[in-house]
């Protein structure tokens, strides 16, 4: 029996990889195109020039090295919040509480950043970063435990815990941890020490590189470890997982803790790499944007990266679009909402591209997230 030549095998492998990438990316790509087209119609109706507006948006996001760095800076916390939501999805849970977990991560990171002095940067910066991550993980353990031991649904508990986080962090920033320097009248913590700051490598923020590493680590955990297999099995069918001997309660709590750790990382890097302190309102919406990012990225750890770059670019370039083309900043929010709509309602996109329904593990486990017991 003749063997297939090696170069033909390699071509087949490359072709299979490209085909699998296209199968995973086609719906989000077409969703973005459709959203941009409808956005162009909205721009026309509002009296703006779509070509000029989109050119200004691109220029504001990628026009030079500083703007590109700003886009990466905007995308970094979005990667973490998207990973947090996507990871919970894999366990069949809908973590709406990434915002609260991110806030606690940002605040604890700031506290460790200004409260500890005299440490070298190679100890202080990682310590503050890990402290923020652990704060997010511990806060996420609460809804995980409530779901496990009382049956309380994580959607309800995480929404409620977001409000708890808002009020606690606001109180601490305006009370025990407030910046008492002369002239300060707003609620915020003192600036963190220089040894706690996270800088850049050229135009690439170090926080962005950490986010890429966490995305790879999340993929590796889910796909290459026994723990990841257990998490995905629980997300697909808890009853089958329990029958197979998987400890479902432990897995649910663990998945929520890891999800919270990822959100906490996002808050910590925002504090240490961008703001330099914790100030209420500066981190608002980042956790909620993670839901959009996770859906656009089809809950894939690697899909979260381009989704975050897309949304980060729209946020970074919206000001220049507003200035150059006279477009309201809210137009970018409308386009984001349209992208999310077409990704979530992917039957529309599939009908447009005339594709067959994918088989295999579902990317968006919303049904299991809402109905898991």
Contact by Cβ (8 Å): 128, 113 = yes
Q: Which of 212, 214, 271, 269 is nearest to 87 (CA)?
A: 214
Q: What is the pLDDT of residues 13-63, one digit of tens each?
A: 767 666 666 666 677 778 788 888 888 888 888 888 888 888 888 898 888
R_g of the chain computed on alpha carbons: 22
Least confident span in 57-61, 177-181, 241-245, 322-326: 322-326
CA of 61: how far to CAs of 269, 273, 316, 320, in Å? Answer: 21, 19, 5, 9
Interval 206-256: pLDDT, tens: 999 999 999 999 999 999 999 999 999 999 999 999 998 999 999 999 999
Residue where the block lists tokens 């220089």: 194
Question: Residue 185: pLDDT above 90?
Answer: no
pLDDT for residue 365: 43
Phi, psi of 279 (to 5 degrees): -140, 120
Kindly state the tokens that stand for 146: 């409530």
**Token duo for residue 265:** 């990382």
Q: Which residues, 6+ apart, have CB-to-CB distance to 191 below 8 Å? A: 114, 179, 276, 277
Residue 341: Cβ within 10 Å count: 15
Please answer whether residues 198 and 272 qualify as being in contact, where contact means their C-beta atoms are separated by less than 8 angstroms.
yes
pLDDT higher than 60, residue 4: no
Distance, first Cα to last Cα, the chain: 53
């Amino acid at each position: 029996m003749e063997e297939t030549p090696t170069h033909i095998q390699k071509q087949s492998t490359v072709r299979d990889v490209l085909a699998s990438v296209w199968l995973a990316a086609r719906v989000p790509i077409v969703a973005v195109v459709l959203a941009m087209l409808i956005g162009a119609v909205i721009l026309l109706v509002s009296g703006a020039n779509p070509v000029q507006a989109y050119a200004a948006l691109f220029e504001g996001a990628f026009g030079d090295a500083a703007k590109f760095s700003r886009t990466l800076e905007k995308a970094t916390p979005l990667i973490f919040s998207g990973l947090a939501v996507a990871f919970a999805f894999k366990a069949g849970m809908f973590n709406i509480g990434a915002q609260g977990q991110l806030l606690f991560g940002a605040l604890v990171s700031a506290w460790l950043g200004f409260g500890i002095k005299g440490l070298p940067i190679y100890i202080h910066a990682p310590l503050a970063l890990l402290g923020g991550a652990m704060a997010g993980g511990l806060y996420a353990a609460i809804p995980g435990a409530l779901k496990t031991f009382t049956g309380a649904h994580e959607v309800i508990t995480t929404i409620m815990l977001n409000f708890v986080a808002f009020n606690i962090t606001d109180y601490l920033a305006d009370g025990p941890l407030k910046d008492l320097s002369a002239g300060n009248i707003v609620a915020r913590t003192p600036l963190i020490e220089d040894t706690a700051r996270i800088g850049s490598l050229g135009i690439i923020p170090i926080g962005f590189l950490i986010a890429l590493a966490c995305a790879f680590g999340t993929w590796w955990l889910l796909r290459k470890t026994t723990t990841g297999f257990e998490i995905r099995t629980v997300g697909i069918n808890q009853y089958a997982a329990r029958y197979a001997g998987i400890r479902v309660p432990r897995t649910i709590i663990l998945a929520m803790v890891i999800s919270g750790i990822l959100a906490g990382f996002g808050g910590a890097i925002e504090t240490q790499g961008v703001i330099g302190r914790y100030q209420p309102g500066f981190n608002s919406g980042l956790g909620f944007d993670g839901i959009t990012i996770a859906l656009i990225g089809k809950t894939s750890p690697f899909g979260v990266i381009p989704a975050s770059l897309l949304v980060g670019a729209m946020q970074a370039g919206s000001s220049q679009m507003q200035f150059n083309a006279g477009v309201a900043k809210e137009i970018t929010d409308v386009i984001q909402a349209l992208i999310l709509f077409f990704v979530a309602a992917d039957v529309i996109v599939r009908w447009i591209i005339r594709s067959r329904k994918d088989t295999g593990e579902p990317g968006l486990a919303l049904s299991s997230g809402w109905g898991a017991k």
